[in-house]
């Protein structure tokens, strides 16, 4: 991998904030990134809760950052109480969507077949998708991490047209590192990224695997981002807690943009 991929930093706000604080955070992130010379060279995306997408979108204007949603329905429309379709996200100018975050994959036990359908739904609806994979602590400790990641990538991407891969960011998010302050060691994270790319190379080819962005998530902070992003395999991050402060999120974006320097 000689030429770095375009960096990506996502801020997953999860079920935090209220309307006023979400708009304020959006304004602050917009101001902080607009002052950054390298902001144009990365995809910085915030993922507010559904009910605040429109207000946050207005506060961001044309960005940066770009706007994304935390989930979508696998169906186009119909009798699916409480769900939100790709078309609805498009109406609100959300251009990105997270699929398979561990709080849904593991927390809500969303099956791999549903995550695959959500990924396909997003990509065929012209949304860009952040597809999350990651092993649990028990899986890592029993030496199964590589196998688990391969299975998750295969089930997500089997049958997905290679032309759609440019709209995908894969997020390696070890379940044990999310929200725990227990960040993966950069060596372990890069190893996992290589495993993920090797599965992509099997499904597609090595060139496409190298060109597909893979980012790390799990207790990324302004203090550890630069070291993680200095690894050639790690194209950026998906950030939870540290994305709720504009300055911290902007610092993480700066660390990702520095990959191009
Ligand atoms: P965290 O969350 O940064 O708070 O660990 C990461 C994520 O869930 O994407």
CA distance 26 to 237: 19
Q: Which long-range contacts (CB under 8 A, 24 or more apart) does 186-190 make?
A: 186/227, 186/228, 186/230, 186/231, 186/234, 189/216, 189/228, 189/231, 189/233, 189/234, 190/231, 190/232, 190/233, 190/234
Average pLDDT for 247-253: 97
Residue 2 confidence (pLDDT) above 60: no
Predicted structure pTM score: 0.97
pLDDT attached to residue 38? 72
Name 66's bridge partners.
Answer: 45
CATH architecture of residue range(s) 70-239:
Alpha-Beta Barrel (3.20)
Question: What amino acid positions are annotated as catalytic residues?
Answer: 101, 173
**For residue 237, how far is its CA from the centre of ligand 1 (angstroms)?**
9
Average pLDDT for 225-245: 98
Residue 58 confidence (pLDDT) above 70: yes
CA distance 121 to 228: 31
Domain positions in the chain:
70-239
Ligand 1 atom having least distance to the Cα of 177: 5
Ligand 1 site residues (CB inside 6 A) read 12, 173, 178-179, 217-220, 238-242
Nearest residue CA, atom 2 of ligand 1?
A: 240
Residue 208 confidence (pLDDT) above 80: yes
Ligand 1 atom having least distance to the Cα of 238: 9
- Kindly report, residue by residue over 38-55, the tens digit of the pLDDT: 777 899 999 999 999 999
Ligand 1 atom having least distance to the Cα of 219: 5
The band of 1, judged by pLDDT with boundaries at 50, 70 and 90, is very low
> CA torsion 143→149→150→153, rounded to 10°?
170
**What proportion of the chain, given as a percentage, has pLDDT over 90?**
94
**For residue 12, how far is its CA from the centre of ligand 1 (angstroms)?**
7
């Amino acid at each position: 991998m000689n030429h770095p991929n375009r960096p990506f930093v996502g801020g997953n706000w999860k079920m935090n904030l209220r309307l006023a604080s979400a708009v304020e955070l959006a304004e602050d992130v917009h101001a902080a990134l607009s002052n950054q010379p390298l902001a144009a060279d990365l995809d910085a995306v915030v993922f507010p809760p559904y009910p605040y997408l429109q207000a946050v979108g207005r506060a961001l204007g044309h960005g940066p950052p770009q706007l994304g949603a935390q989930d979508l329905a696998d169906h186009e429309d119909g009798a699916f109480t409480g769900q939100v379709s790709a078309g609805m996200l498009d109406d609100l100018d959300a251009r990105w969507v997270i699929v398979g975050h561990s709080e849904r994959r593991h927390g809500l036990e969303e099956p791999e077949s549903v995550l695959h359908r959500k990924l396909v739904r997003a990509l065929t609806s012209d949304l860009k998708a952040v597809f999350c994979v990651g092993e649990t602590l028990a899986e890592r400790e029993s030496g199964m991490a590589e196998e688990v990641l391969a299975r998750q990538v295969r089930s997500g991407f089997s049958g997905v047209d290679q032309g759609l891969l440019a709209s995908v960011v894969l997020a390696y998010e070890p379940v044990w590192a999310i929200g725990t302050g227990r960040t993966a060691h950069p060596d372990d994270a890069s190893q996992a990224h290589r495993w993920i790319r090797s599965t992509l190379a099997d499904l597609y080819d090595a060139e496409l695997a190298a060109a597909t962005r893979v980012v790390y998530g799990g207790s990324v902070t302004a203090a550890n981002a630069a070291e993680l992003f200095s690894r050639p395999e790690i194209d950026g991050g998906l950030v939870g807690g540290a994305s709720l402060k504009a300055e911290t999120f902007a610092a993480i974006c700066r660390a990702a943009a520095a990959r191009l320097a």
